[in-house]
Amino acid sequence: MRPLLRSTALAAAVFFSVAAAASTTVTLTGTGSDTLISGTNYSLSASGTGTLTGFPSFSFSASATVDTTGLTANTPVNGTFTFDFGAGNTITGTVTVPAGAFASNLVGGQAATVPGSATITGGTGTYAGVTGSFPVLGGTATVTGPNSSSFTVTGNGAINLPGPPVAAPAASPWSLGLTALALLASAWWLLDRRRITI
């Protein structure tokens, strides 16, 4: 495609179709329990139920590997999570939580003094292509056994839901005139190019 035609086509595509996307501010709340399984490193698994403002309630699961080398109450532990809304609709992502929030027995009973965070990286069904983040997650934890605890979590964040292409607003006379000029310029360029070649 000729450079001028390519740029004209691109402008037309942008003009007549725009991508719809919605960014929603939400509050996350959840309650659950977790278990540490010892091995070369500790494996953490957690599950529970939660809510997001404006979304159906969901069940969640999370997992992580805990390296105990130099572990302190504020050592960040990285894991993954899934929010399951049922009917094949899920939201998935990564989560970072200080070790003291769930493994106080591994850090001498010390409590964490830094928050956690989470990033939404995708989803399935209704939430396919979703992104978002929770920059600050807080909560409480209660030890229920040597390697287990119950917890609550809460935090504010934003979720971006992709939408289908939608028609752009009606064209104004000015914009239609500019489009016509671009097409005329393309035609003139082709005719001039042909005349020079001959």
The partner residues of 123 in beta bridges, in order of sequence, read: 91
Specify the amino acid at residue 106.
L
* Global pTM value: 0.74
Q: Which residue's structure tokens are 């990285």?
A: 78
Spatial CA neighbour of 157 closest among 139, 132, 140, 138: 132
3-state secondary structure of 5: helix
Summarised one tens digit per residue, pLDDT across range 139-190 is 999 989 989 999 999 999 999 998 765 454 555 554 555 455 455 555 544 4
Specify the amino acid at residue 4.
L
Summarised one tens digit per residue, pLDDT across range 27-83 is 999 999 999 998 879 999 999 999 999 999 999 999 999 999 999 999 999 999 999
Please give the Cα distance from 80 to 64 (Å, whole number).
Answer: 7
Q: Are 109 and 81 in contact (CB under 8 A)?
A: no
Label residue 43 exposed, middle or buried (CB < 10 Å: 0-12, 13-18, 19+).
middle
The partner residues of 58 in beta bridges, in order of sequence, read: 50
**Residue 192 predicted with pLDDT over 50:** yes
Residue 9: band (very low, low, confident or very high) from pLDDT cuts 50, 70, 90: very low
Query: How many of the other CB atoms lie within 10 Å of CB of 140?
Result: 13
User: Which segments within the chain are labelled E, that is strand?
Assistant: 17-37, 42-52, 58-66, 76-86, 89-98, 116-124, 131-145, 148-167
Summarised one tens digit per residue, pLDDT across range 85-129 is 999 999 999 999 999 998 888 888 888 999 999 999 999 999 999
Are β-strands 148-167 and 131-145 bridged in parallel, bridged antiparallel, or unpaired?
Answer: antiparallel
Q: What average pLDDT does the segment 189-193 reach?
A: 49
The partner residues of 162 in beta bridges, in order of sequence, read: 21
Specify the amino acid at residue 165.
P
Alpha helices in the chain (DSSP H): 3-16, 173-197
Residues constituting the chain: 198
